[in-house]
Amino acid sequence: MSAAREAILREGAQAMGLSLSDAQSDTLLAYGELILKWNKVYNLTALRDPAQVLTHHLLDSLSVVPPLQRQCPAATRLLDVGSGAGLPGAVIAIMRPELSVTCVDAVAKKAAFLRQVSAELGLRNLNGMHTRVESMGGSYDVISSRAFASLADFFVGSRQLLASKGVWMAMKGKLPSEEIEALPADLASVFHVEQLQVPGLDAERCVVWARKSAA
């Protein structure tokens, strides 16, 4: 792990209002190294460059940690849908050790990778599951996704898992105005859209917050 990458990570996190402890910084960088290592054998992500993994994955995922803390400070269970290599779920697990994070993906090798991450980095609050979200049971305070599907598909597929007072947290690129307008009134209600600024990433980012419709 290079000192330069650590400096970029810490400075980027600081710019987003996060002060990383030594343990958090070390664990995040070790997680990035595991992504790069497993990418040599399994196609976890399209990125192979360490600098891009740092900005496009680690810092991008870190950008939702402050909004999550503001919106859901008392949350205890989070489900990350279509998690892939654990983005943002694994990053959230590193930053919020009191939060039980389950990352679900329909691809077995990605769930296996997340179980390895949990074991190797000592993240007892992180669990990787190989299944389809539609077939799951349980109840979660927060259900997250990162460029997983349309808002409607994301909400429909995971609705049975969202606690009565739970929230959806959907990471998107550009503001998905058409997707929001197309949501059925009896499905979900978007109550906040927050623009995200990711240091080193020249692209639009936002997070869409929604609840189940009262109906």
Contact predicate 50/31, CB 8 Å: no
**How large a percentage of the chain has pLDDT more than 90?**
84
> Given pLDDT bands bounded at 50, 70 and 90, which one contains residue 215?
low
Q: Of all residues in the chain, what percent carry a pLDDT higher than 70? A: 98
**Whether the model pTM is above 0.75:** yes
Contact 208, 176 (CB under 8 A): yes
Residue 85 pLDDT exceeds 80:
yes
Q: What is the DSSP letter of 205?
A: E
State the CATH number of the domain containing residue 80.
Answer: 3.40.50.150
pLDDT band at 46; cut points 50, 70, 90: low
pLDDT tens-place string over residues 17-36: 999 999 999 999 999 999 99
Alpha-carbon gap, residue 53 to 57, rounded angstroms: 5
**Domain enclosing residue 168, as ranges:** 3-212
How many structural domains does the chain have? 1
For tokens 């050790």, the residue is 97
- Which region, left, alpha or beta, applies to residue 9 given φ > 0 means left and ψ of -120 to 50 means alpha? alpha
